[in-house]
């Protein structure tokens, strides 16, 4: 549009579509979509996210921007038949942020731009309402003062409260034109005092400053925190929407509201939302006055209500999903101000996805794409059991489901501080605002006594999957005194334990016990999804997971070391064990035997110690093979350094010294102390462990292999179908693997012969040392499978030990953007991921049938699962409880769902 090859920084609403979120932001793209659907959207234009990125990089707007804005503003003025800030009949606009990813309430919007001392007269004359004109002006000065001029918003709030108090009222509706004029004067004085300049009287200057302020709000503290939590890229930038104002504050025949096409809490279809008469913008979610349920609108303005219902149905059919809508009614005329595919609870996400399939709006593939592993994980959180000895205090609104127990705290700072020292806390506020975000993240749950299901607390909590009870109006919350009072007079002070139930809205003093939710009971096999017992949530989860299993290519195994875990993993849908650790099998009573093994002075002693351990090991495996009958069980031979099984050096020294002081001599303790000294390592993580141990301690690995083989033989004779796989940890060189492989094959052959059974066991290695990655082609010649130990591989790639560094500097790294998420949580694709890819290619180059899996914790992380799918692994293995999550994400990856996470 702007001629000779120059970048287009500005698009009219008529020029965009919902597919252009990256360029126009979600708000802009959807305003364009609604405009093109012919819905009543006030005209306007969008300045692109490109312009924001330019602005953030250069600290100035692109040179062509001012002209392009003028061009579009002129077109807007023509369409509206008014000029921006015209003293006689002013066009007013809103200047609204809107990034590609939804960040509700995180950045800024300024309404009524174009009002000045002069044009206010025009607005009053045109509308026939002095009050309305002053009300609009005071809103502009406040929002502009706070957002654009950076003045502390409390100063304005306080000035407004003061005027209300002087009038003996607590509602803004009781203020008349004269009072609001007084408010404007006070606001303007605040601006002059804090900025050393008067409130700008040039409409275009207002517009330009507001646009830049929106760009700047991309980097506001709360936006940064929100992005980090939601894993939204830090450099995406926001678009700016300039929209002709429509007015919900023109009297009682006007108003503003929010609507959902389905209940974002449960997924139920219907009319959900809130409406507020004679109000503008954020009033409806800010809890300044009590809203009415949207259904009331039918009685307030039947025509507008009918029209709104029509638009809602239209949007749902068009977006084929739950839509979240902002609208305003100006003297009976309906205007659409925003829509987006609405955030919802995890349960609603599953229910809605299957409802839409049943309604023929989407197919089952799409239903799988519409839900996430994180949401499924939320459905597996425990729920409150009724009863217990906690006392119920009140019931609020069930804003975001979940069961939260913790100490009551009354400020975001306290929440962060207490959570930081390991306390569980519940954040209690009158209402939350974006400054409470850090506290909301730190808390187990959020409780407010004001605001409805669309209040800030509710919307943000749902987005984070955090438990929230809002609008518990019977509670008297006194944040300054750090306590609240229940209707029966009970006073709950900071530090008292409370329980809140986001599914029912109930609030208790004390700790309510929890139980597994229906979805977990379904996974456990206790609820048959086709029976009456199954609720619609269980049925939805069952349908979606069944389909995910059908379409996924990745296998899913579990990390399990006990028969109990193995059995649960199997019920949860695991096809085998990808990592059976053996170290815990050497703890407890068996420590004695390990000590004896270490103290052994000759072969005979050593053999005796091993012989004592062998039958115990065999029992361990027997039960696990039984639980996983017919499915592979990958047993990892002993991995950690041996001194982990020995007494602590200091403790032992003290014991020996005390005995000596008493004149006693404990020979075994003495020798043990010497052994512990001898085995002390500066960097045990990089010391004598894994395959190195197997090579240095004669007979240790052979004993384990024999136990595995004998257990398998016994199962076989009992008619079972054991499928052991033997995995060697920490290999760096093919020679290490060859040596252990030879020993292992010998033991297997011996056991076959002794027991008279046929036994085969795959022998493979973990890939967790960079050298193994680089020489994967060689290592594959001695391995039947690779299993990526991505925990160790991450440590070795970055060169830091998880235990030592997580607390020390991860938060600083997250803050500085070096990580966007801990590499132990989500696989670092660029670094560790590149190594995984390299080892896959190397391994398969010499052994095309090499089986590939991953057994680090990343195997259950949604984002990482997508990577493992892409890189061509055969399976992921994760903790039993994450198995359903991995199944779902493996299905989503196969269907090309965008990515995991929200
Ligand atoms: P957010 O992204 O925080 O929701 P919005 O840009 O949607 O911020 O604007 C804040 C409030 O102002 C919303 O209630 C919105 O509906 C209202 N609003 C925005 N633009 C206009 C407009 N042109 N006319 C009337 N109300 C508007
Ligand atoms: Mg909005
Ligand atoms: Mg390891």
- Which ligand 1 atom sits closest to the C-alpha of 103? 2
Q: How confident is the model at residue 202 (pLDDT cuts 50, 70, 90)?
A: very high
Residue 677 bears catalytic tag: no
- Which ligand 1 atom sits closest to the C-alpha of 248? 25
Is the minimum distance from the CB of 95 to ligand 1 under 6 angstroms? Answer: no
Give the environment of ion ligand 3: residues with CB less than 5 A: 768, 789, 792
What CA–CA distance (Å, rounded) separates 72 from 240?
13
Is the minimum distance from the CB of 245 to ligand 1 under 6 angstroms? Answer: yes
Pairwise pLDDT comparison (270 vs 148), residue with the higher score: 148
Lowest mean pLDDT segment, chosen from 2-6, 107-111, 275-279, 834-838: 2-6
Q: Ligand 2 center to residue 623 CA distance, Å?
A: 57
- Which ligand 1 atom sits closest to the C-alpha of 106? 3
Residue 855 bears catalytic tag: yes
197 DSSP assignment: S
CATH architecture of the region 381-515: 3-Layer(bba) Sandwich (3.50)
Any alpha helices (H) in 38-105, and if so which ranges? Answer: 49-58, 65-80
Rounded alpha-carbon distances, angstroms, from residue 145 to 80, 152, 302, 495: 27, 8, 38, 37
Lowest mean pLDDT segment, chosen from 380-389, 612-621, 698-707: 380-389
Mean pLDDT to the nearest integer, 898-902: 51
Q: Which of 263-272, 367-376, 428-437, 589-598 has the highest mean pLDDT?
A: 367-376
Identify the pLDDT of residue 2.
Answer: 44
Identify the pLDDT of residue 807.
Answer: 67
Report the nearest-CA residue for atom 11 of ligand 1. 281
Is the minimum distance from the CB of 255 to ligand 1 under 6 angstroms? Answer: no
Identify the pLDDT of residue 741.
Answer: 97
- Which ligand 1 atom sits closest to the C-alpha of 244? 23
Mean pLDDT to the nearest integer, 816-838: 90
Q: Are 452 and 275 in contact (CB under 8 A)?
A: no
Q: How confident is the model at residue 901 (pLDDT cuts 50, 70, 90)?
A: very low
The ligand whose atoms approach the alpha carbon of 103 most closely is 1
501, pLDDT greater than 80: yes
pLDDT tens digits, residue range 105-134?
A: 778 889 999 999 999 999 999 999 999 999
What CA–CA distance (Å, rounded) separates 185 from 191?
10
Identify the pLDDT of residue 287.
Answer: 67
Identify the pLDDT of residue 454.
Answer: 72
- Cβ-in-10-Å burial (0-12, 13-18, 19+) of 299 comes to exposed
Q: Ligand 3 center to residue 351 CA distance, Å?
A: 40
CATH 3.20.20.60 corresponds to the domain 552-641+681-894: yes
Instruction: Tell which one of 282, 283, 437 to mutate to probe ligand 1, the residue whose CB is within 8 A of the most ligand atoms.
Output: 282
Mean pLDDT to the nearest integer, 358-372: 96
pLDDT tens digits, residue range 153-164?
A: 999 999 999 999
900, pLDDT greater than 70: no
3, pLDDT greater than 60: no
pTM here is: 0.83
CATH 1.20.80.30 corresponds to the domain 54-60+77-244: yes
Is the minimum distance from the CB of 105 to ligand 1 under 6 angstroms? Answer: yes
Identify the pLDDT of residue 886.
Answer: 98
Is the minimum distance from the CB of 96 to ligand 1 under 6 angstroms? Answer: yes
1, pLDDT greater than 70: no
pLDDT tens digits, residue range 413-437?
A: 999 999 989 999 999 999 888 788 8
The ligand whose atoms approach the alpha carbon of 794 most closely is 3
Q: Ligand 1 center to residue 25 CA distance, Å?
A: 15
- As beta bridge partners, residue 213 has none
The ligand whose atoms approach the alpha carbon of 765 most closely is 3
Instruction: Tell which one of 26, 29, 30, 96 to mutate to probe ligand 1, the residue whose CB is within 8 A of the most ligand atoms.
Output: 96
**Domain parsing of the chain, residue ranges:** 54-60+77-244, 255-344, 381-515, 552-641+681-894
Residue 861: CA count within 13 A, CB half-sphere: 20
Report angle CA 589, 633, 892 to the nearest 5 degrees: 125
Question: Residue 32: which H helix or E strand, with range?
Answer: helix 21-36
Report the nearest-CA residue for atom 3 of ligand 1. 105
Is the minimum distance from the CB of 892 to ligand 1 under 6 angstroms? Answer: no
Mean pLDDT to the nearest integer, 568-597: 90
Q: Ligand 1 center to residue 96 CA distance, Å?
A: 7
Report the nearest-CA residue for atom 18 of ligand 1. 281
Torsion of CA 206, 207, 211, 212, to 10 degrees: -40
CATH architecture of the region 255-344: 2-Layer Sandwich (3.30)
Identify the pLDDT of residue 583.
Answer: 86
Mean pLDDT to the nearest integer, 32-59: 97
Average pLDDT of the chain, as a whole number: 92
pLDDT tens digits, residue range 553-573?
A: 999 999 999 999 999 999 999
The ligand whose atoms approach the alpha carbon of 93 most closely is 1
Q: Are 559 and 881 in contact (CB under 8 A)?
A: no
Is the minimum distance from the CB of 884 to ligand 1 under 6 angstroms? Answer: no
- Which residue is catalytic, options 179, 456, 547, 866? 456
- Which residue is catalytic, options 52, 468, 580, 855? 855
Q: Ligand 2 center to residue 783 CA distance, Å?
A: 57
Mean pLDDT to the nearest integer, 589-605: 85
DSSP 685-753: GGSS-THHHHHHSTTHHHHHHHHHHHHHHHHHHTT---EEEEEE-S--SHHHHHHHHHHHHHHHHHHHH
Identify the pLDDT of residue 652.
Answer: 85
Phi, psi for residue 514 in degrees, rounded to 5? -115, 160
């Amino acid at each position: 549009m702007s001629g000779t090859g120059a970048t287009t920084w500005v698009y009219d609403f008529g020029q965009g579509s919902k597919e252009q979120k990256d360029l126009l932001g979600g708000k802009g793209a959807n305003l364009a979509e609604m405009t093109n659907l012919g819905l009543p959207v006030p005209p306007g234009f969008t300045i692109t996210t490109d312009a924001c990125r330019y602005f953030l990089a250069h600290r100035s707007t692109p040179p062509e921007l001012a002209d392009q804005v003028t061009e579009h503003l002129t077109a807007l003025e023509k369409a509206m038949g008014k000029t921006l800030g015209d003293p006689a009949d002013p066009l007013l606009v809103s200047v609204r942020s809107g990034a590609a990813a939804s960040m509700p309430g995180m950045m800024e919007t300024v309404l009524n731009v174009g009002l000045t001392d002069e044009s206010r007269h025009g607005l009053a004359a045109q509308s026939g309402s002095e009050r309305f004109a002053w009300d609009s002006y005071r809103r502009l000065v406040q929002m502009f003062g706070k957002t654009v001029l950076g003045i502390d918003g409390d100063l304005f709030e306080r000035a407004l409260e003061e005027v209300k108090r002087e009038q003996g009222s607590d509602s803004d509706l009781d203020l008349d034109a004269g009072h609001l004029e007084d408010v404007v004067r006070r606001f303007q004085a605040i601006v002059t005092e804090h900025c050393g300049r008067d409130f700008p009287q040039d409409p275009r200057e207002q517009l330009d400053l507001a646009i830049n302020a929106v760009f700047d709000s991309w980097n506001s503290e709360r936006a940064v925190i929100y992005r980090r939590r939601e894993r939204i890229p830090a450099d995406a930038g926001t678009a700016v929407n300039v929209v002709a104002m429509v007015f919900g504050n023109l009297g009682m025949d006007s108003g503003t509201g929010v609507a959902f096409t389905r209940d974002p809490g449960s997924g139920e279809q219907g009319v959900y939302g809130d409406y507020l008469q004679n109000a503008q913008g954020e009033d409806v979610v800010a809890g300044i006055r009590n809203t009415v349920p949207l259904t009331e609108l039918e009685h307030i303005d039947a025509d507008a209500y009918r029209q709104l219902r029509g638009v809602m149905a239209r949007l749902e059919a068009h977006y084929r999903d739950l839509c979240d809508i902002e609208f305003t009614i100006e003297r009976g005329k309906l205007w659409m101000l925003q829509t987006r595919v609405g955030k919802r609870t995890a349960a609603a996400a599953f229910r809605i996805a299957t409802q839409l399939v049943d309604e023929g709006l989407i197919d089952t593939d799409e239903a799988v794409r519409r839900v996430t592993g994180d949401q499924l994980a939320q459905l597996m959180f425990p729920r409150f059991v009724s009863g217990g000895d906690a006392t119920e205090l009140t019931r609020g609104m069930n804003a975001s489901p979940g069961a939260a127990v913790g100490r009551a705290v009354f400020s975001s700072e306290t929440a962060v501080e207490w959570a930081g020292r390991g306390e569980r806390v519940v954040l209690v506020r009158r209402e939350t605002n974006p400054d409470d975000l850090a506290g909301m993240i730190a808390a187990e749950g959020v409780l407010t006594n004001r605001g409805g299901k669309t209040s800030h607390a509710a919307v943000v909590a749902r987005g984070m999957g955090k438990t929230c009870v809002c609008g518990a109006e019977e509670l008297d919350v006194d944040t300054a005194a750090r306590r609240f009072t229940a209707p029966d007079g009970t006073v709950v002070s900071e530090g008292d334990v409370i329980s809140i139930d986001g599914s029912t809205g109930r609030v208790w003093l004390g700790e309510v016990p929890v139980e597994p939710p229906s979805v977990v009971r379904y996974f456990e096999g206790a609820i048959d999804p086709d029976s009456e017992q199954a609720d619609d949530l269980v049925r939805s989860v069952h349908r979606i997971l069944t389909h995910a299993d059908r379409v996924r290519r990745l296998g899913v195994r579990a990390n399990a070391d006990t028969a109990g875990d193995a059995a649960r993993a199997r019920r949860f849908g695991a096809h085998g064990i990808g990592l059976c650790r053996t170290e815990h099998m050497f703890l407890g009573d068996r420590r004695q035997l390990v000590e004896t093994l270490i103290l052994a002075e000759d072969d005979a002693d050593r053999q005796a110690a091993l012989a004592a351990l062998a039958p115990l090991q065999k029992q361990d495996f027997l039960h696990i093979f039984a639980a996983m009958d017919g499915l592979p069980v990958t047993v990892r031979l002993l991995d950690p350094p041996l001194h982990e099984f020995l007494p602590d050096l200091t403790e032992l020294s003290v014991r020996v010294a005390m005995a000596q002081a008493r004149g006693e001599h404990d020979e075994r303790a003495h020798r043990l102390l010497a052994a512990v000294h001898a085995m002390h390592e500066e960097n045990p993580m990089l010391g004598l462990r894994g395959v190195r141990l197997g090579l240095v301690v004669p007979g240790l690995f052979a004993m384990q292999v024999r136990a595995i083989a004998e257990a398998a033989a016994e199962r076989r004779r009992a008619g079972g179908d054991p499928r052991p796989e033997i995995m060697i940890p920490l290999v760096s060189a093919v020679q290490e693997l060859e040596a252990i492989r030879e020993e292992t094959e010998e033991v297997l052959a011996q056991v076959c012969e002794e027991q008279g059974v046929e036994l085969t066991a795959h022998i493979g290695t973990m890939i967790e040392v960079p050298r193994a990655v680089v020489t994967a082609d060689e290592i594959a010649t001695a391995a039947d499978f690779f299993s990526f130990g991505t925990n160790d591989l991450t440590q070795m790639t970055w060169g830091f030990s998880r235990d030592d560094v997580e607390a020390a500097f991860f938060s600083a790294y997250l803050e500085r953007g070096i990580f966007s998420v801990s590499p132990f949580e989500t696989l670092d694709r660029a670094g560790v991921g590149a190594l995984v890819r390299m080892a896959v290619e190397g391994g398969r180059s010499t052994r095309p049938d090499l089986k590939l899996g991953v057994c680090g914790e990343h195997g259950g992380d949604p984002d990482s699962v997508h990577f493992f799918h892409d890189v061509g692994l055969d399976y992921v293995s994760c903790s039993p409880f994450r198995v359903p999550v991995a199944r779902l994400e493996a299905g989503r990856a196969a269907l090309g769902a965008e990515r995991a996470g929200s």
